[in-house]
Amino acid sequence: MSQLKHSAQDKLEQLDGFHVSIDTETGRADVVLKRPPFNIISMAQRDQLRLVFESLDENEKVRVIVLRAEGEHFSSGGDIKGFLEASPEHVSKLAWNIAAPARCSKPVIAVNQGYCFGVGFEISLACDFRIVTDTTLYALPEQKLGQIPGSGGSARLQKMVGITRTKDVVMRSRRIPGKQAYDWGIATEFVPLAELEAATDSLVKELLFFSPIAQRTAKKLLNDTDDATLSVAIELEGHCYSRLRSSDDFREGVEAFHGKRAPKFIGS
């Protein structure tokens, strides 16, 4: 916790249902859900997760963030009783909190095993990469409670798989196995459960190789142009490309390419 942003520390005296670890040598940070057996996400935990992602985003020693969970399941969803006790104002902020991984400028990997329901699915959809296994089950089961997804789940899913498949998932509370999620383009990688940790480590290592400033630029550009017209997206891409041309990392990348050596990016 000493490595988190000081302004957030006051509100994070005790993390609710998860912990954070940072490897300053590699630049990897892990946000680990830890409320066995199903890692239910409380209302307070949603607020804290937002603060943690914002703190990690500002931590210069962090390059890649991994969101994972201890145990058999990633998360079976939110604390249902908490919804009834929360004020309308608090509930209105749920989607903003869960969107923290998407707003974070750094790459975020969701490691999804077992149940990944409700808010567990929604926060995973807000990440940049999702690794699933043969045990993974995605679902937005809110219809069974007389509700709809409230933290961006249906909106993000529809962007990824279209309205027909999203209606199938949301309106029927249907569970999507890991392999099907991969086939539909929801998941980035599908691996056996025994290889989940190795696959995560491999992806982290791969992302750490690239220029931090180029990674941040690519993520923001892709997020900002997700609902833009083609002409606007191309225009913004050109501006981003132009800015990166003057970066130290671009110069290093070109020199390394011509020198037939591995680049040493510094993030500027």
Instruction: Please state which of the ranges 8-12, 22-26, 56-60, 247-251 shows the lowest mean pLDDT.
Output: 8-12
Q: What is the DSSP letter of 20?
A: E
- pLDDT exceeds cutoff 50 at 1: no
What is the pLDDT at residue 34? 97
pTM metric for this prediction: 0.91
> What is the Cα–Cα distance from 86 to 211, expressed in whole angstroms?
42
Q: Phi and psi at residue 73, in whole multiples of 5°?
A: -120, 145
Per-residue pLDDT of 224-260, as tens digits, reads 999 999 999 999 999 999 999 999 999 999 988 999 9
Mean pLDDT of 199-213: 97
- Give the rounded distance of the alpha carbon of 21 from its chain centre: 16
Mean pLDDT of 43-62: 95
What is the pLDDT at residue 4? 56
What is the pLDDT at residue 91? 74
| 3-state secondary structure (DSSP) of residue 96 | helix
DSSP 3-state helix, strand, coil percentages of the chain (rounded to 5)? 50, 15, 35
What is the pLDDT at residue 93? 77
Bridge partner residues of 137 (DSSP): 115, 177
What is the pLDDT at residue 94? 84
What is the pLDDT at residue 7? 45
Neighbours of 140 (CB within 10 A): 27
* Higher per-residue pLDDT: 8 or 137: 137
Write out the E strands in the chain.
18-23, 28-33, 64-69, 108-112, 115-117, 129-132, 137-139, 176-177, 189-190
Indicate the pLDDT class of residue 62, thresholds 50, 70 and 90: very high
Indicate the pLDDT class of residue 92, thresholds 50, 70 and 90: confident
> What is the Cα–Cα distance from 225 to 20, expressed in whole angstroms?
31
